[in-house]
Amino acid sequence: MNLQRLTAVARKESLHLLRDWRSLTLALAIPLLLILLYGYALTLDLRNVPTVVWDQSRTPESRELLSLFHSSPYFTVQGYHENYAGLQQALDQGEAMIALVVPGDFSAKVHANKPVHIQILGDGSDANTSRLAMNYAANIGAIYSLAVTSEQMQQKGQGKLKQPIELIQRSWYNPGLRSQNVLIPGIIALVMIVVAALLTSTTIAKEWETGTMEQLISTPLRGPELIFGKVVPYFCIGMIDVAFAVIMGKWIFDVPIVGNTALLFGMSSLFLAGALFFGLTLSIKLKSQVLANQLAIIAGFLPTLLLSGFVFAIENMPMPLQFLTYIVPARYFIAILRGIYLKGIGLEILWLNALFLAIYAMIMIMVANRKFSFKLE
Amino acid sequence: MLQRLYHMLIKEFLQMLRDPRMRVVIFGIPVIQMTIMAFALTTDVTNIRLAVLDMDRTPASRELISAFTAGRYFRVTHSLFSQNEITPLLDRSEVQAVLQIPSGFAKDILTEETAGVQLLTDGTDSNSTAIVQGYAGYIINDFNDTMLTKRLARKGITLSPLQITTKSRAWYNSNQESHFYYVPSLIATMLFIFSLLLTSIGIVREKEIGTIEQVMVTPIRGIEFILGKTIPYMITGYISMSFMLCIAFFVFDVYVRGSLLLLYGLTGIYLAGNMGIALIISGSASTQQQALLTSFLVLMPSVMLSGFMFPVSNMPDPVRFATICNPMRWYLDILRGIVMKDVGVTALWPAIAAQTALTVTFLTIAIGRFKKTLS
């Protein structure tokens, strides 16, 4: 491999990129957009679940219970209805996700200390939200019943009724359970796969499709020089994007990096190398930009989004799929990112993940070089 | 005109399906992807790995632990002896939660003081953690209720503590299975990704390799060219949607509860809108790379802000307002409405109206701009 020829290719590719300002802008704008989206708009935290109520009881007791729902940050009471048809309509049209039905004998049963059932109807078509919301609603019910019982005991002169067990819940690494703290580190993986795999998937195929590959073949250039030279500018863009993500995460979204920032960049470059050569391999093998693009999305972007533990925890997936995630490099990278960002751990724990990333990058570099034949067919 | 369009369509279909790899990309991959993803997208949290640090070691503390393991949610994988063991376990993600019972727990229970118990959770997956905390709260509430009843009985008071049990029922999806929720959303996503990318790149490809000039010297007119380019992708969109609905039925037991006819009709409006966006993109892009990136710039926010993974009601107001011009958001409402809730035009009319308005807008802009590009 000749370094001079390699730099010449890198320069040519950089010029292509610089001249095509639109692609360049997009390569930097897409990551920004992703970070802003995940930082501002997207959250899995459950707040303000739209709720409708049918209060059949209409007593001070039932209003007291409902006031707990009014004051809870999890629920927003949208309106009151007088029959199931009204509740059904609200759920059908998606105006509400939860419907509460307080039975007519609510107040009587509360005074008689008999069990009361409150009906909670959830829009199960959004299983995640409705399950969480139902849990919260059940907890509000428990708070109310403890308050009422305790009050009644006091009236009977039994003294204050104490709660037998109090559960103190603390979440480590992310005390407020902010979903930004979890999503922003994951974004780095997503941003890099978008920029790296998608951009490189077109490069070699483009030379074949437009016929400029023949001109390159006639020069003294060798295969590996072309491959490595092509990757250089995209590598730079990828690292700039990582820096964007880190800076925006820290200054705009207040996501602290507990661990070592240098390690973060080192690991990112490892993942980036794997992703770049993955895109390049597709481009080399398929010789068609459309096909290479599609495969980069299918085999690169979508698994990184969905099979990496970015949003959906791997532990909760069915077994066969959990095995499948072992071949998704983003799985290792996201574990590393969260480890560095939130847990502040280093290679002493993450070495296995780092090793897998390195192996993946090596394999991709080898495959790209082997598949590339610098000859006319 | 019809004859020219017919020939154009034949050319397009031949071009599109000539490459066997392309056939796989168009028909096979969306279906396979949908199947895999539907299995992956699950928020059902079970088998939570729990470590227990029981510093009390009494029958009472063991009773509490067994209350945790009784359901299908928690499973004790580690029994700890000291607090020093907690950090490494959570650092290495070997457990998702640690239950810490202090010494003196049994004594507090006996003397009817409130006994504090701690649950430490790994906050690096905030969504699962919220669910884990919900389960734990539930278990403790239940435990408290039983214990209070016992205490009162011991004092000879027949009065049982008031129990407000919530009878929860999830409509439309009584088992609250995530599959059921995500399958329709995945269909919408796959249709969006494939129709947008394939169409926009397909047109720009002709520009980039120069064959568009050959088309332009033929007597074909602008509108015929547009129809010829888009109809094939509309048809393949319908075909892959039908495949996906079959998979949804046979693999996931998700069937269309509402009117199939209405679903197909409204899907047509959705696909046509996507074609409009694709045309706008391809009108301004000159290389396939540009078309790809621009499509992506549109795709990402549309998918993310559609309510697919992140509920629209959780978004901040300005963003929620902006989702009005997101065609996928409306299509998701329509798809979920027809597939899961069996509702018709009466309930869906706002979504249908918005969808139609968007499609008409996109197509008008697209045709206007495209004619200019061609001339």
Asked whether the beta carbons of residue B41 and residue A312 sit closer than 8 angstroms, the reply is yes
**Range name among A13-27, A142-156, B241-255 with the lowest pLDDT average:** A142-156
Specify the pLDDT at position A124. 65
Chain A residue with minimal CA distance to B204? Answer: A290
Q: Measured at the alpha carbon of residue B228, what is the angle toward residues B226 and B231, in degrees to the nearest 5? A: 100
Structure tokens at A13: 């590719």
Task: Give the residue on A whose Cα is nearest the Cα of B200.
Answer: A290
CB within 8 A of B153, min separation 6: which ones? none
Which of B109, B120, B297 lies nearest to residue A33, judging by beta carbons? B297
Q: Would the pLDDT of B264 be above 90? A: yes
Question: How high is the mean pLDDT of chain B?
Answer: 84
Q: In this model, does residue A371 exceed pLDDT 80?
A: yes
H or E stretch at A230: helix A223-251
Provide the 10 A C-beta neighbour count for residue A107. Answer: 20
Contact A94 B287 (CB under 8 A): no
- Chain A residues lying within 8 Å of B138, measured CB to CB: 135, 138-139
How close does chain A come to B265, measured CA to CA in Å? 20
DSSP state of B309: S
B176, A131: Cβ pair inside 8 Å? yes
The answer to whether A204 touches A289, Cβ cutoff 8 Å, is no
Per-residue pLDDT, A151: 76
- Count CB atoms within 10 A of the CB of residue B287: 21
Whether A254 has its CB under 8 Å from any CB of chain B: the answer is no
Largest Cα separation within chain A, whole Å, is 100
pLDDT category at B242 given cuts 50, 70, 90 is: very high
Distance of alpha carbon B169 from alpha carbon B245, whole angstroms? 26
Look over chain A and give the mean of its residue pLDDT values, rounded to a whole number: 84
> What value does the mean pLDDT take over residues B22-31?
82
Give percent of chain B with pLDDT exceeding 70.
91
Say if residue B160's pLDDT is above 60: no
Contact A124 B180 (CB under 8 A): yes
Residue A183 and residue A193: Cα distance in Å, rounded?
15
ipTM (interface pTM): 0.79
Residues of chain A positioned with their CB less than 8 A from the CB of B350: 93
What's the whole-number mean pLDDT along residues A117-121?
81
State the pairing for strand pair B97-101/B48-54. parallel
Q: Are residues A313 and B125, on separate chains, in Cβ contact within 8 Å?
A: yes
The nearest CA of chain A is from the CA of B267 a distance in Å of 19
Dihedrals φ, ψ of A41, to 5°?
Answer: -95, -35
- Asked if the Cβ–Cβ distance from A43 to B310 is below 8 Å, we say yes
Residues A230-283: pLDDT tens digits?
Answer: 899 999 999 999 998 999 998 988 888 888 999 999 999 999 999 999 999 998
- Predicted confidence at residue B266, as pLDDT, reads 93
Q: Position B126: which residue type?
A: S
SS3 assignment, position A75: strand
Closest of A21, A99, A102, A26 to residue A59, by C-alpha: A102
Provide the pLDDT for residue A31.
Answer: 87
Residue A84 tokens, joined: 């199931």
Q: Which of A145, A52, A148, A37 is nearest to A96 (CA)?
A: A52
Q: Does A212 touch chain B (CB under 8 A)?
A: no
A116 touches chain B (CB under 8 A): yes
Look at residue A362 in the predicted model and tell me its pLDDT.
Answer: 94
Query: Which amino acid would we find at residue A298?
Result: I
Q: Is residue B372 scored above 70 in pLDDT?
A: no
Q: Please give the residue that has the higher pLDDT: either A124 or B327.
A: B327
With a cut of 60, say whether residue B159 has pLDDT above it: no
pLDDT tens digits, one per residue of A27-72: 888 888 888 888 877 766 667 788 899 998 888 888 888 888 888 8
Question: Are B167 and A118 inside 8 Å of each other by CB?
Answer: yes
Partners of A44 on chain B (C-beta within 8 Å) are: 126-127, 130, 310, 314
Q: What is the mean pLDDT of residues B329-339?
A: 89
- Report phi then psi at A100, rounded to 5: -110, 135
pLDDT at B357: 95
First CA to last CA across chain A, in angstroms?
24
> Mind giving me the DSSP string for B189-200?
HHHHHHHHHHHH
Question: pTM of the predicted model, to two decimals?
Answer: 0.82
Kindly state the average pLDDT of the residues B189-211. 85
Encoded tokens for A207: 């030379």
Longest Cα–Cα distance of chain B, Å, equals 99
Structure tokens belonging to residue A44: 């899995």
**In chain A, what residues touch B315 (CB-CB under 8 Å)?**
41-43
From B342, which residue of chain A is nearest by alpha-carbon distance? A92
> Residue A158 — very low, low, confident or very high, per pLDDT cuts 50/70/90?
low
Tell me the two tokens of residue A271.
Answer: 């993942």
Query: pLDDT value at position A334?
Result: 92
> Does pLDDT of A344 surpass 60?
yes
Contact B347 A164 (CB under 8 A): no
Compare all CA atoms of chain A with the CA of B336 and give the residue at the minimum distance: A125
Contact between B92 and B65 (Cβ < 8 Å)? no
d(C-alpha A250, C-alpha B219), whole Å: 58
Of A166, A293, A302, the CB nearest to B292: A293
